[in-house]
Amino acid sequence: MKEADEVWSAVADRPRSRDLCVCLAFGALGVVLYAADLSVIGGNSGAPFDLPRWIGLITLAAACGAQSLRSTSPGTALTLCLAVVAVDTVVAQSLSVWLVLSDVVYAVALYAGRRTVHTMYAVLGAIAVLAFATVIALGASWQTVLLAGLWVLALVIGPIGYGRAIAEHRVAAAAERERSAILAQLADRDRADAVTEERRRLARDLHDIVAGHLSGIALQSAAALTAGPASPITAEVLASVRANSVAALGEMRALIDVLDADDSATNRHDTDDHDGSPRTASLRRIDHLVTTARTAGSPVAVTPEVPPELPPAIDVCAYRIAAEALTNATRHARRQPISMEFAVDPRGLTLTVRNAVLDEAAASGPGGHGVANMALRARAAGGRCTAGRVGGDWVVTASLPLPDSGAAA
């Protein structure tokens, strides 16, 4: 049953195939009526001429040929079918031909344009008036006139009404779909406006609060450096504080610009900072992270050199993961060696950060959201990131796919 439904759905989506199936079905019905000796209107009283009954099969075939155009060219189908009915009325008076006409009239009401439908009304109305006038003029009884009226009602007027009802329903459904699409677009626009407004609010808050604090740190550290002589260690730490705060300000400004910009500006910020300089978050600036970690007392070894050109999204993601991994290693394993390894192969970029695990660090309990954030960043870029203890080391491994390598395994 399911296969039959699929076959019919495929046929129904093709107007020519659908019309061919319909005319074959009506042709088969006409043959059955002929075999059952029910093909002549009014029984065996027959046509005005003494012609063989099989003439009705010829007119049936002609009517079905016209019917094959029922949805692709309904006006032509109706014209040809009316001509066949006129001939059949004289030579055969076949019931099956009238059934075909009924379907063609229905198809015109359903598929044709308004002008063609109105033309059909006029033509069929004129034919009906002429036919009734002829029947009355020939002295037919009122029972015959009533039977003819019921015949026209069943085979012409009924199909027209049914076809127009379906056509109007389809028009109403199309209008409702269009209305729903417009409402969906408006809803999407409202959501986009709400997101834009929220982004701008966040940009204002970042500018007024966080950026202000970072500026204060940068200014105070600069003032401390110029206030007077200090020990080399103190000077190095102050210089690192100032460098970190200035770098954070740069990233903050870039983030504020992204939040407060449209999509085109956002795409631009994915590759460069607002002033056209290289991205603040880039593996090309990994030396800054390494210097910060070394200033904090942790020896850092980077092997081999940082990969050259990377796609912007992968570059930023790898930088953020490296920064988080170095920060965690510096915080939880102070003054312990840290190694950072990069590997590029056909599958993508692999970043590995390894540091020794101190007993007090292992027993210090759960940390913040750093590990989860690294995993989320990697997953958003199509890769993965794992972090955990391997022997006596804590190892962070991020696998990020390159554009030609597909998704990470």
All domains of the chain, ordered by start, with CATH?
A: 2-140 (no CATH), 285-409 (3.30.565.10)
At residue 216, the pLDDT reads 77
At residue 68, the pLDDT reads 92
At residue 265, the pLDDT reads 44
CA distance 70 to 20: 9
Confidence of residue 75 (pLDDT cuts 50, 70, 90): very high
Which token pair is 215?
Answer: 């500026």
CA distance 109 to 71: 10
Q: Does residue 19 have a pLDDT over 80?
A: yes
At residue 5, the pLDDT reads 62
CA distance 175 to 166: 14
Greatest Cα pair distance in the chain: 131
Q: Is the pLDDT higher at 228 or at 156?
A: 156
Of 40-49, 95-104, 268-277, give the lowest mean pLDDT range: 268-277
CA distance 354 to 337: 8
Confidence of residue 6 (pLDDT cuts 50, 70, 90): low
pTM for the model: 0.50
Instruction: Please compute, for residue 51, the number of CA atoms within 13 A of its CA located in the half-sphere on the CB side.
Output: 18
Confidence of residue 276 (pLDDT cuts 50, 70, 90): very low
At residue 106, the pLDDT reads 94
At residue 49, the pLDDT reads 57
Confidence of residue 147 (pLDDT cuts 50, 70, 90): confident
CA distance 313 to 383: 12
CA distance 41 to 63: 16
At residue 108, the pLDDT reads 93
What 255-262 contacts at long range (C-beta under 8 Å, 24+ apart), as own/partner pairs, is 255/206, 256/203, 256/206, 256/207, 256/211, 259/199, 259/200, 259/202, 259/203, 259/206, 260/199, 260/200, 260/203
Which token pair is 333?
Answer: 């394993």
At residue 362, the pLDDT reads 46
CA distance 206 to 248: 12
Burial of residue 322 (number of CB atoms within 10 Å: 0-12, 13-18, 19+): buried
Helix (H) or strand (E) holding 139: none
Amino acid 224 reads A
Whether residue 304 is preceded by a cis peptide bond, meaning omega within 30 degrees of 0, is yes
Q: Does residue 35 have a pLDDT over 60?
A: yes
Q: Which of 125, 80, 120 is nearest to 100 (CA)?
A: 80
Identify the top-confidence range among 173-177, 198-202, 294-298: 173-177
Confidence of residue 261 (pLDDT cuts 50, 70, 90): low
**Taking residues 190-199, what's their average pLDDT?**
84
Confidence of residue 408 (pLDDT cuts 50, 70, 90): very low
